[in-house]
C-alpha cells in the first residue's frame, strides 16, 4: 500500500456518513480480525474486511469506495454473526456500496450490473425470472458463456422456466420500487 | 450565628472559570455571614490557618468552604475547624469545582452558580447541630471467606498478628485455583511447591479455625459485631475420625465421578480426597455418583474404612460464629467455552480449556504430567492456543480484559516445549498485555528461545478434519486468513465472577459491578475496603488478578483489619437517623424499608411503642427519612429542615 498522508486524506465526514447510514459505531472495532478470519470471499478481496473497517476508521474514503472488496462481499454475514464487538459488518459493507454507487465509483461493474438486472426482474414480475436474468447478465457483461454449463444440469430438474411466472399482486411490488425512487427524489 | 465563608481558587482549577472575588464579596451579604474571603489553596497549611484564625478572631460558630468535592477534603476541613474549637459538624462544603468550574466554561454563569451554591451552604450550616460520635466494643475475631491464595494470605497475616481467624472455604480443601496450577509465571516456580507450605501453615495455625466444604448462610450485625451462620455441608465422612489414608478411594467401585479438581478431564471415585496435598486431607462422598446413594446398596467404603468414619446419614450442619470484621476472598470462575458455537461448543475432545491443560501438564494430574490429548491419548505435536476466549468480547457479555491469560498462555507454551521438544506451539492473540515485573521479558522469551509463533488475530472457527483440529483465523499483520492443523487446541478462557458472588454480596451488603465483581470503596485510594464498614476485599473477587496481586491484596486486607482492631473501642458516625419519639406513630414503614436492619421497636418510659435506631448499624442512607409519613425519623446533618433551607436559599435569591 502506498503512503497514506493522514493529515490530508482523513475524511471525518465519511466516517460520520458510514456511521449514520449503517447505525454502527465504527470506532468500536478493535481490529481483532475475526471477520477476516471467517470471510468466505476474502481470497478475492483486494482489502480483507478487517482492513476495510480500519480504512473507514481513519477516514480513507477514496480507498474504501474504490475497493473491489465492498462489491465482492456476498453479505453472508459470517462477520456480523461472529463480531465480538457486535458490529453489523456486512451492513457496513452494504452502506459502502451504496455510497460508492451514489458517487459513481463502482470498481466491480458486473456486480452492479447483476444487482440492477436482478431488481429489474423483481420489479417486473414480483419475483425473479431466472432465464431473463441469465440472458441479460451474460449479454450485458459480455461473458456470454458464464455458467452455461449448468444449463443441461438444471433444465431437466425443472429449475428454469422459459416463461415468466408472475406473482399475485406484482403491481404492489412495483409500487414499492416507485415509492422508493420517489422517496430518494424527495429527500434530495 | 456568626458564619465565615472561604472561597478557594484551587490554582486555576476554580479561579479559571469562576470569579472567586465576586463570590466572596456576594457571600458577605448572606444572613449570618460576618466574614468572607478567597484564597489560592484553602486546603494548604496557610489556607487552613486562615480559617482557624478567623474562627478565633471573628468568633465564628459556623464555617463554609467553597472548593472541591467533599469526597476530597471534607475531613481535612472538619479537622481544621475542630482544632480551632468548633464542633466538626458545624462545617459545610460547597462544591464549586466538580459541580461548577470543571463542567462549565461560561464564567458569568459559573460565578452565578457558585454564588447560589455558597448561599445554600450558608443556609444549611445555620441549622447544623453539633454532633458527637458514640463508642462501642469490638469483637476481634475475623472471618475470611475463601481459602484460595488471597484468603490464605489474609488469614495467615491476621493470625500471625494475634487475631482469631475463621476461614470458610466452599470446596473440600483450601488452595483455590493456585493448587490446580502446574507452574507459575514468570519464574516457572512449581505452584503447589510454593503454595503447599502456606496451606500447611493455615491448617496448623493455632489461631485459624478452618471450615472447609462450608458456605456462608447468613450474616447479620455491623462492624465490630458481626454474627455469621455457616453451613457445613454433609461430607458423609466423619472428619474427626478420617485419617486421609485413601483406602476408600482405592476400593470405591464407582470410578466415573466428575472430578472438579481435574476440571473434568478425567474421572475420579465417588468417595475421594481431591488431591494429595489437600488441607484438610479428608475424604468426602459425592452422592451424585455414590452407589449407596443412587442404588441404596454398596457400603464398600464403610466396610473398608479402618476407623469407621463413613456416615451415610450425615446432614448439613449450621454453626454460628461471632466476628468483628470480614475479609471476602471468594476468587473467580472461568468462562464457559461451550457457549461459543464456532469453537465447537465443547463437543471436540481435543479442544480444551487452559485450566484443563494445566492439569495435563501437572505431575499430580490424570496423565502424571505427560501431555496426552484427550481423544486418543497421543502426544500432540502442534498445539494452538487461542487467547481472549470469553474476554474482551462484548457479544458474550465479557468486555473486560481477564488480566492474566496472556501470561499463562506464554507459560503454557514454554512448558509445552519443555515437555515435548519437537512440538510447535502457536498463539492467536489480539494484544499482549504483560505489564508486570519481568512479564514482557517472559513473553519475549517464549517467542525467542522457545520458538512459539504468535499470530496477531482472532480465531473465527475450529472444526475437525481427520484426526486434526483445524483452526481458522486471521493474521491481521499480514492482512490475510490463516489456517492451522492442530493436534490440540487450548482455549484461554477468561475470568468471570465466581458463581454465587452476587448472592454473597447481598448477604454482606456490599456492591458489585455488572459482571459480578465486588466494588472497592475507591478504585485508587481504598482498594481493599468496601462501602460497608468492616468488610474488606482480597484477590480476584474484586476483579481478575494474578497471584502476586492477589497475595498483595490478601496482606493489604489483613493489615486493614489489624489496624481496625488496634483500638478496643470504635467510634460510630453520628450522621445517622434519629427518631423524634413524640412524632413517631409506630407505623413500622422505616423498619420495613431499612436495608441494614438498623431500626427496631422500643417502649418509651411513657409506655409508647416507637421506632429506635441501632446507632452502630445505621449507615446514614436516609431511606427511612423519605419513607416516614409524619417526618419523625430524620437523618442528622441532613434533616428535612436543613435540606429545605437550602432549597429556599436557592429559590429566594
What is the set of domains in chain B, with CATH numbers? 3-125 (3.40.50), 141-228+318-331+498-564 (3.50.50.60), 234-315 (3.30.70.20), 333-496 (3.50.50.60), 577-636 (3.30.70.20)
Give the torsion sign (CA, A135, A136, A139, A144). negative
| B530 touching A (Cβ < 8 Å) | no
Cross-strand partners of B427: B385, B454
DSSP-assigned letter for residue A167: P
Q: What sign for the dihedral angle of Cα B145, B149, B153, B155? A: positive
Percent of chain A exceeding pLDDT 90 equals 72
Mutation pick from B340, B388, B395, B428 vs chain A, by most beta carbons of A within 10 Å, is B395
- Would you tell me which residues 469-488 of chain B have a C-beta closer than 8 angstroms to some C-beta of chain A? 472-476, 479-482
Per-residue pLDDT at A173: 92
Helix (H) or strand (E) holding B5: strand B3-8
| CA-based nearest distance A37→chain B, Å | 4
Q: Cα separation of B23 and B40, whole Å?
A: 14
The reply to whether A85 touches chain B by the CB within 8 Å rule is yes
B481/A83 touch (CB, cutoff 8 Å), yes or no? no
How confident is the prediction for chain A on average, in pLDDT? 92
B69 touches chain A (CB under 8 A): no
Residues of A in contact with B472 (CB under 8 A): 37-38
Q: What pLDDT does A154 receive?
A: 83
**Cis amide bond preceding B558, omega within 30:** no
Tell me which residue has cell 462549565.
B104
Is the bond leading into B180 cis (omega within 30 degrees of zero)? no
Q: Which chain A residues have a beta carbon less than 8 Å from that of B482?
A: 37
Are residues A84 and B473, on separate chains, in Cβ contact within 8 Å? Answer: no
Do residue A34 and residue B476 have CB atoms under 8 angstroms apart?
A: no
B465 touches chain A (CB under 8 A): no
CB proximity B458 to A under 8 Å: yes
C-alpha span between B164 and B158 (Å, rounded): 8
Among A28, A36, A43, the residue with its CB nearest the CB of B474 is: A36
- Residues lower than pLDDT 50 in chain B: none
Integer angstrom CA distances of residue A166 from A119, A137, A169, A175, B347 = 14, 20, 9, 15, 47
DSSP B518: B
Are the beta carbons of B497 and B361 closer than 8 angstroms? no
A34 and B393 within 8 Å at the Cβ level: the answer is no
CB contact under 8 A, A34 and B457: yes
Interface test with B, best of A37, A57, A81 (most B CBs within 10 A): A37
Partners of residue B459 in chain A, C-beta under 8 Å: 34, 37
Nearest residue in chain A measured CA to CA from B341:
A82
- DSSP states along B298-359: --HHHHH-TT--B-TT---EEEEEEESEEEE---EEE--GGG-GGGTTT--TTEEEHHHHHH
Write out pLDDT tens, residues B283-313.
999 999 999 999 999 999 999 999 999 999 9
Among the partner-chain residues B342, B459, B474, the one whose CB lies closest to the CB of A50 is B474
Contacts of A165 by beta carbon, 8 Å cutoff, 6+ apart:
A125, A127, A129
pLDDT for B46-59, tens place per residue? 999 999 999 999 99
Bridge partners of B386, per DSSP, are B428, B491
Contact A33 B473 (CB under 8 A): yes
Which residue carries 483452526 as its cell? B471
A72 touches chain B (CB under 8 A): no
Across the strands, what pairs with B326? B143, B535
Task: Please spell the DSSP secondary structure of B519-588, one letter per residue.
Answer: PPSBTTTBSSB-SSTTEEE-GGGSS---HHHHHHHHHHHHHHHHHHTTSSEEEPPS-SEEE-TTT-----
Kindly list the residues from chain B whose CB atom is less than 8 angstroms away from the CB atom of residue A47.
Answer: 479
| Bridging pattern class, strands B453-456 and B424-429 | parallel
Count of C-beta atoms within a 10 Å radius of residue B369: 15
Any idea what DSSP says for residue B134? -
Residue A37 sits at the chain B interface (C-beta within 8 Å): yes
Our CA-based measurement puts residue B472 at a distance from the nearest CA of chain A, in whole angstroms, of 6
- Shortest distance, CA A84 to any CA of chain B (angstroms): 5
Distance CA B35, CA B13 (A): 24
Choose from A84, A85, A87 for mutation: most chain B CBs within 10 A: A84
Measured CA distances, B412 to A10, A111, B272, B567, B614 (Å) = 43, 48, 28, 47, 54
CA distance A69 to chain B (A): 13
DSSP secondary structure code for residue A109 in this structure: H
What distance lies between CA A65 and its chain's CA centroid?
12
Which residue of B393, B395, B474 is in closest CB contact with A33? Answer: B474
Report whether pLDDT(A157) > 90.
Answer: no
Average pLDDT over residues A33-53: 96
pTM, to two decimals? 0.85
Q: Do A84 and B342 touch (CB under 8 A)?
A: no
Burial bucket for residue B295 (CB in 10 Å: 0-12, 13-18, 19+): exposed
CB contact under 8 A, B395 and A50: no
Provide, as residue numbers in chain A, all residues whose Cβ is less than 8 Å from the Cβ of B458: 32-34, 37, 84
Q: Across the interface, do B475 and A33 touch by the CB < 8 Å criterion?
A: yes
Beta-carbon contacts below 8 Å between A and B:
71
Tell me what pLDDT residue A165 has: 85
- B453 in Cβ contact with B382 (< 8 Å): no
Distance from CA of B513 to the nearest CA of A (A): 20
Interface test with B, best of A1, A25, A33 (most B CBs within 10 A): A33
Tell if the CB–CB gap between B396 and A85 is shorter than 8 Å.
no
DSSP per-residue string spanning B175-189: -TGGGG-SEETTTTE
**What is the tens place of the pLDDT at every residue in B341-394?**
999 888 999 999 999 999 999 999 999 999 999 999 999 999 999 999 999 999
Nearest CA in chain A to B475: A33
A188: pLDDT confidence band, cut at 50, 70 and 90?
low
- What distance in Å separates the CA atoms of residue B442 and residue B326, rounded to the nearest whole number? 37
CB-based contact, A47 to chain B, within 8 Å: yes
Amino acid at each position: 500500500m502506498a503512503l497514506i498522508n493522514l493529515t490530508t486524506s482523513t475524511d471525518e465526514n465519511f466516517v460520520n456518513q458510514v456511521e449514520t447510514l449503517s447505525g454502527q459505531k465504527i470506532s468500536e472495532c478493535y481490529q481483532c480480525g475475526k471477520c477476516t478470519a471467517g470471510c468466505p470471499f476474502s481470497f478475492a478481496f483486494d482489502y480483507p474486511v478487517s482492513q476495510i473497517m480500519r480504512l473507514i476508521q481513519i477516514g480513507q474514503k477514496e480507498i474504501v469506495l474504490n475497493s473491489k472488496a465492498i462489491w465482492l462481499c456476498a453479505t453472508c454475514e459470517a462477520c456480523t454473526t461472529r463480531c465480538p464487538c457486535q458490529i453489523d459488518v456486512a451492513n457496513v459493507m452494504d452502506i459502502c456500496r451504496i455510497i460508492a454507487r451514489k458517487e459513481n465509483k463502482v470498481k466491480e461493474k458486473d456486480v452492479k450490473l447483476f444487482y440492477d438486472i436482478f431488481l429489474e426482474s423483481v420489479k417486473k414480475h414480483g419475483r425473479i425470472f431466472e432465464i431473463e436474468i441469465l440472458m441479460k447478465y451474460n449479454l450485458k457483461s459480455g461473458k456470454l458463456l458464464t455458467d452455461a454449463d449448468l444449463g443441461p444440469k438444471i433444465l431437466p430438474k425443472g429449475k428454469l422456466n422459459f416463461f415468466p411466472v408472475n406473482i399475485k399482486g406484482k403491481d404492489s411490488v412495483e409500487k414499492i420500487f416507485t415509492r422508493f425512487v420517489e422517496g430518494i427524489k424527495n429527500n434530495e | 450565628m456568626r458564619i465565615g465563608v472561604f472561597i478557594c481558587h484551587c490554582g486555576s482549577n476554580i479561579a479559571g472559570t469562576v470569579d472567586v472575588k465576586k463570590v466572596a464579596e456576594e457571600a458577605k451579604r448572606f444572613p449570618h455571614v460576618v466574614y468572607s474571603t478567597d484564597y489560592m489553596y484553602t486546603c494548604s497549611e496557610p489556607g487552613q490557618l486562615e480559617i482557624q484564625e478567623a474562627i478565633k478572631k471573628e468568633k465564628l460558630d459556623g464555617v463554609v468552604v467553597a472548593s472541591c468535592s467533599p469526597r476530597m477534603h471534607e475531613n481535612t476541613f472538619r479537622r481544621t475547624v475542630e482544632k480551632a474549637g468548633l464542633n466538626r459538624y458545624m462545617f459545610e462544603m460547597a462544591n464549586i469545582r466538580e459541580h461548577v468550574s470543571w463542567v462549565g466554561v461560561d464564567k458569568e454563569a459559573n460565578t452565578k452558580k457558585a454564588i447560589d451554591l455558597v448561599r445554600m451552604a450558608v443556609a444549611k450550616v445555620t441549622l447544623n447541630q453539633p454532633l458527637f460520635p458514640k463508642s462501642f466494643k469490638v469483637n476481634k475475631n475475623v472471618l475470611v471467606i475463601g481459602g484460595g491464595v488471597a484468603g490464605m494470605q489474609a488469614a495467615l497475616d491476621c493470625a500471625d498478628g494475634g487475631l482469631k481467624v475463621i476461614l470458610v472455604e466452599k470446596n473440600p480443601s483450601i488452595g483455590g485455583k493456585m493448587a490446580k496450577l502446574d507452574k507459575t509465571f514468570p519464574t516457572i516456580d512449581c505452584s503447589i511447591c510454593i503454595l503447599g507450605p502456606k496451606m500447611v501453615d493455615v491448617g496448623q495455625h493455632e489461631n485459624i479455625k478452618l471450615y472447609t466444604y462450608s458456605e456462608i448462610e447468613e450474616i447479620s450485625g455491623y462492624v465490630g459485631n458481626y454474627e455469621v451462620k455457616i453451613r457445613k455441608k454433609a461430607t458423609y465422612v466423619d472428619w474427626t475420625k478420617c485419617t486421609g489414608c485413601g483406602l476408600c478411594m482405592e476400593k470405591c467401585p464407582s470410578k466415573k465421578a466428575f472430578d472438579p479438581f481435574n476440571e473434568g478431564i478425567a474421572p475420579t471415585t465417588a468417595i475421594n480426597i481431591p488431591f494429595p496435598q489437600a488441607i484438610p486431607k479428608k475424604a468426602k462422598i459425592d452422592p451424585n455418583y455414590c452407589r449407596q446413594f443412587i442404588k441404596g446398596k454398596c457400603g464398600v467404603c464403610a466396610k473398608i474404612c479402618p476407623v469407621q468414619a463413613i456416615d451415610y446419614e450425615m446432614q448439613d450442619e449450621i454453626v454460628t460464629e461471632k466476628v468483628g470484621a470480614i475479609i471476602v476472598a471468594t476468587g473467580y470462575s472461568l468462562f464457559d467455552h461451550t457457549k461459543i458455537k464456532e469453537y465447537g461448543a465443547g463437543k471436540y475432545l481435543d479442544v480444551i480449556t487452559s485450566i484443563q491443560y494445566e492439569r495435563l501438564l501437572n505431575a499430580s494430574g490424570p496423565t502424571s504430567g505427560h501431555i496426552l490429548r484427550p481423544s486418543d491419548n497421543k502426544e500432540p505435536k502442534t498445539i494452538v492456543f487461542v487467547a481472549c476466549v470469553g474476554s474482551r468480547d462484548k457479544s458474550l457479555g465479557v468486555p473486560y480484559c481477564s488480566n492474566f491469560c496472556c501470561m499463562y498462555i506464554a507459560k503454557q507454551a514454554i512448558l509445552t516445549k519443555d515437555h515435548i521438544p519437537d512440538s510447535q506451539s502457536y498463539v492467536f492473540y489480539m494484544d499482549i498485555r504483560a505489564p508486570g515485573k519481568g512479564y514482557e521479558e517472559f513473553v519475549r522469551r517464549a517467542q525467542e528461545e522457545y520458538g512459539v509463533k504468535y499470530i496477531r488475530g482472532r480465531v473465527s472457527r475450529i472444526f475437525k478434519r481427520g484426526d486434526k483440529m483445524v483452526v481458522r483465523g486471521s493474521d491481521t499483520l499480514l492482512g490475510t486468513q490463516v489456517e492451522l492443523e492442530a493436534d490440540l487446541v487450548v482455549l484461554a478462557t477468561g475470568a468471570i465472577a465466581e458463581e454465587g458472588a452476587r448472592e454473597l454480596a447481598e448477604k454482606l451488603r456490599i456492591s458489585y459491578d455488572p459482571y459480578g465483581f465486588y466494588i472497592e470503596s475507591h478504585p485508587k485510594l481504598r482498594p481493599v475496603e468496601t462501602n460497608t464498614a468492616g468488610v474488606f476485599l482480597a484477590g480476584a473477587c474484586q476483579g481478575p488478578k494474578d497471584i502476586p496481586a492477589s497475595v498483595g491484596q490478601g496482606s493489604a486486607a489483613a493489615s486493614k483489619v489489624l489496624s481496625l482492631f488496634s483500638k478496643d473501642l470504635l467510634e460510630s458516625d453520628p450522621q445517622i437517623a434519629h427518631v423524634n419519639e413524640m412524632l413517631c406513630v409506630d407505623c413500622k414503614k422505616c423498619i420495613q424499608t431499612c436495608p441494614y436492619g438498623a431500626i427496631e421497636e422500643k417502649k418509651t418510659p411513657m409506655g409508647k411503642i416507637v421506632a429506635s435506631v441501632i446507632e452502630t448499624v445505621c449507615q446514614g442512607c436516609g431511606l427511612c427519612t423519605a419513607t416516614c409519613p409524619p417526618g419523625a425519623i430524620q437523618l442528622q446533618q441532613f434533616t428535612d429542615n436543613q435540606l429545605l433551607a437550602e432549597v429556599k436559599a436557592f429559590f429566594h435569591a
